[in-house]
Amino acid sequence: MVRVAFVSICLAAIPGAIGATLIASHYSGQLYTLNLSSTNQLTIAKSVSSGNRMPAWLDLDSTSKTVYIPDEIQWGQPLLKSFLVAADGSLTPKGQVQTAGGELHSTLYGGSDGKGFVALAQ
């Protein structure tokens, strides 16, 4: 059983027929696909390593089915990672870029579609 102490949840995640599918990050470095049933039972469906030491805020682009995850650490080589979200909520690594470090929050903005860039903030 996984105890979730510090977690970010992408609430705008994946629509399900009944209930909901959520994506959560944990300071252990893992990303979890969670299923919330119509009877309010929350279960872990899948997990994958984020590749970040302290994955923070999750930012979902529902059009491209991409979730962006900054690394909250302030040492080493912090990364902004992206994952492709499949229909069942499973996550496949898509890309990464090194950041300055310590970023907690992210948002998509700008460009012709209003989300051509990712802004990061501490």
pLDDT tens per residue across span 14-42: 444 567 899 999 999 999 999 999 888 99
Parallel/antiparallel/unpaired status of strands 117-121 and 105-109: antiparallel
* Farthest CA pair distance, the chain: 44
Burial class (CB in 10 A: 0-12, 13-18, 19+), 39: exposed
Q: What is the pLDDT of residues 96-110, one digit of tens each?
A: 999 888 888 888 888
pTM reported for the whole predicted model: 0.79
Residue 16 CA to residue 91 CA, distance in Å, equals: 16
